[in-house]
Chains A and B, each alone.
Chain A
Amino acid sequence: MNIHEYQAKELFEKFGVATPKGKVAETLGEAATAASELGSEIVVKAQVHAGGRGKGTFKNGFQGGVHLVKTAEEAGEIAGKMIGETLVTHQTGEEGKLVSKVMVADAVDIEKEYYLAILMDRESRSPVIVASTEGGVNIEEVAEQTPEKIFREVIHPLLGLQPYEIRNLAAGLGLSGDVAKQFGKLLKGLYSLFISCDCSMVEVNPLVTTPDGQVLALDAKFDFDDNALYRHPDIEALHDPTEEDPREVEAAKYDLNYIGLDGNIACLVNGAGLAMATMDIIKQSGGEPANFLDVGGGATQEQVRNAFKIILSDPNVKGILVNIFGGIMDCDVIAKGIVAACGEVDLNIPLVVRLEGNNVVAGKETLANSDVDLIPADTLADAAKKAVAAISA
């Protein structure tokens, strides 16, 4: 789950992570009022979950989702050109993203930019802090080209962040005196936020120092552990469904694991590994998968029906491949679910079904005796070939 920049700022303030003064605004008036409480250099930023905002273009022709202004009037004027408009950046795709809020904040005089992140590292099974003297740039490139500019501390899962680890990082970044102290305070707050909110990643890029000796988190990216959201209703409330694929939002309502892709062969599979493998084999057979969809180990007829509806709501879909390995699940129950679903939705594209496993003979009979027009397949390889052939016909 991602959150907006203004929400990240609010979390930073709650955990004592120093960040420039600012506020979120939903109207031109709110933006002007917020700006009037700030200094003489103000930045207005469109709030969407996408990078490249500064270089983006609004569909109304207005250039740039990040602007520097001097007065409250100007801030209001710029906000008026952003709110309610659609911003296209290199990460949003052509359709762009609707901007419903802007953030108005003090523009910071930057002395130097750094990189600071905390992530859950699977190899060491621990939180790892990564810091670099190269801020505001792509950290993966820094790690590849100049690994000596990256500093890492692996934090003990039970002990937590220790003072010497902070000192190591400050020394690596070349910070000393009061600036090092401020960095330590910021990092402690950031670590506490990371742990308290069950983050899988918090990335501050850039972290900056200012000529007057402040250390500030200027921009942040968060990733939360979805498995832990049940104990963080306040964080779950930050979720903005308008930022997501509507098919994925719909699928989540029925506990279906769905991820939309660009292809034209939809798939419905039980099990995440098998669902990935089904996408792979569609591609291998010369087709393009339209989605990832895992209906889970105990799918009900209701779930199968809703899965079909979501798949068919994608106008790109030209064919469907159902791949079920009934382990404990009864293939006949799945077969009945497919027949019921096809009875309710107006199916007018090819449907290839591969069933294997528990009670498969009865399942295949149910499908054969129904009036659903489908193409049966024996193995997954056979199913993928048939699906690709059916949409090419």
Chain B
Amino acid sequence: MAILVDENTKILIQGITGSFGGRHAQLSLDYGTKLVAGVTPGKGGQTFSDTVPIFDTVKQAVAETGATVSTIFVPPPFAGDAILEAVDAGVDLVVAITEGIPVMDMMKVRAAMKDSGTRLIGPNCPGVVTPGTGENSHGGCRIGIAPGYIHKRGKVGVVSRSGTLTYEAVYQLTSLGLGQSTCVGIGGDPINGTSHLDILKMFNEDPETEAIIMIGEIGGTAEEEAAAWANENCDKPIAGFIAGATAPPGRRMGHAGAIVSGGKGTAEAKITAMREAGIEVADNPSDMGEALVRAMG
């Protein structure tokens, strides 16, 4: 089953004609993902890669192609508007890859989305991958910028705030012969659409997912909340990792949300909360795959 998306999910990309969006659109097509439409205002009627129709609006794209997921590759000043356009068009899921969206814009977008039926993942995230069953996991649903070939279809759910740490975890799992049900990057911004907890709940409900890796970093208290919930409600084995134990307080470590302020959001507090919840926390990022093996007993 996987979560959020599967190999039949039809996706569209807002910002498909930009160099970054276009490059990753092509990689998703090569992976076998059902990329059915692109949206760039003013470029309606053109096609991407000779096969994917481009529309002026998300509404048109959804009506013509039946896409249910939109991916945002739109530059930061226009990304908030792009997310709201996708929500208004009624897609089930919006995955915002864009890095650098003002926090104030995301605050308004989240408030405006409150009663919609749309889920937002990101922004500032690597996206979502449900691996396929072909060679190098070909034929899956790749939304965003993750390298498709490192995946393998299987039973481990992966959720993370960081892109490269997700790839590290997936690569280790695949090397150990452990495939993934779905890998979700929830993003490194202080205000995002979907939390660790939201994804843990979905993995817990998903019959295909048998074990979970949760990767966090300093800043906020989302990992603590997810751990507390998992302790009470999740009977699947969980391994984890937290980055940023040596980060100086008060400094943003690359990700806008990765900051220890007022003594809150430390790696130590997160690791303690996760261990107390029975999560097998890896000592270092080279150990994430093995930590999951230990968690699975």
Contacts and interface: CB of A to CB of B under 8 A. Distances in A.
Interface of A: 120, 122-123, 125-127, 140, 156-158, 195, 198, 200, 225-228, 230-231, 257, 259, 261, 269-277, 279-284, 289, 292, 294, 297-298, 325, 327-328, 356-358, 379-382, 384
Given A157-B108, A272-B188, A281-B285, A356 B160 contact: no
A273 B111 contact: no
Interface string B244-269: 11111001111111100011000100
B167 A327 contact: yes
A153 to B, nearest CB: 16
B4 to A, nearest CB: 20
Given A227-B256, A327-B150, A327-B167, A120 B107 contact: yes
Contact of A277 (B110, B255, B285): B285
B168 A120 contact: no
Contacts of A274: 162, 164-165, 168, 243, 285
B176 interface: no
10 contacts: A198-B102, A225-B103, A228-B102, A231-B102, A261-B248, A270-B164, A273-B254, A274-B162, A280-B246, A297-B145
B102 A259 contact: no
A6 to B, nearest CB: 22
B110 A327 contact: no
Interface string B153-185: 000000011111101100100000000000000
Contacts of B220: 122-123
Given A271-B163, A276-B218, A297-B163, A122 B257 contact: yes
Given A271-B254, A328-B24, 17 more contacts: A120-B190, A120-B191, A122-B190, A122-B257, A198-B103, A225-B103, A228-B102, A269-B164, A271-B165, A274-B164, A274-B243, A276-B218, A276-B258, A279-B246, A284-B284, A380-B168, A382-B286
Nearest to B27: A328
B243 A280 contact: yes
A273 B162 contact: yes
Main secondary structure of the interface of A (DSSP, over half): mixed
B227 to A, nearest CB: 16
A327 B253 contact: no
Contacts of A289: 246
Contacts of A272: 162, 188, 217, 253-255, 258
A275 B168 CA distance: 12
Contact of B284 (A140, A230, A357, A380): A380
B77 interface: yes
Interface residues of B, number: 63
Contacts of B32: none
Contacts of B76: 227, 230
A390 to B, nearest CB: 18
Given A140-B262, A292-B253, A357-B150, A273 B188 contact: yes
Given A225-B102, A289-B246, A327-B147, A156 B164 contact: no
A225 B191 CA distance: 12
B101 interface: yes
Nearest to A379: B286
A2 B258 CA distance: 18
Contacts of A380: 168, 284-286
B210 interface: no
Nearest to A329: B147
A137 B39 CA distance: 53
Nearest to B112: A158
B113 to A, nearest CB: 11
A281 B77 CA distance: 36
Given A228-B104, A284-B283, A273 B147 contact: no
A357 B147 CA distance: 9
Contacts of B247: 276, 279, 292
B201 to A, nearest CB: 18
Given A273-B162, A280-B246, A297-B145, A292 B254 contact: yes
Contacts of A280: 243-246, 267, 284
B295 interface: no
Give the interface centre of B110, B111, B167, B262 by most chain A CB atoms within 10 Å: B167
B103 A259 contact: no
Contacts of B162: 271-274
Contact of B111 (A125, A140, A276, A283): A125
B253 A275 contact: yes
Nearest to A288: B246
Give the interface centre of B149, B164, B191, B217 by most chain A CB atoms within 10 Å: B164
A296 to B, nearest CB: 9
Contacts of A283: 245-246
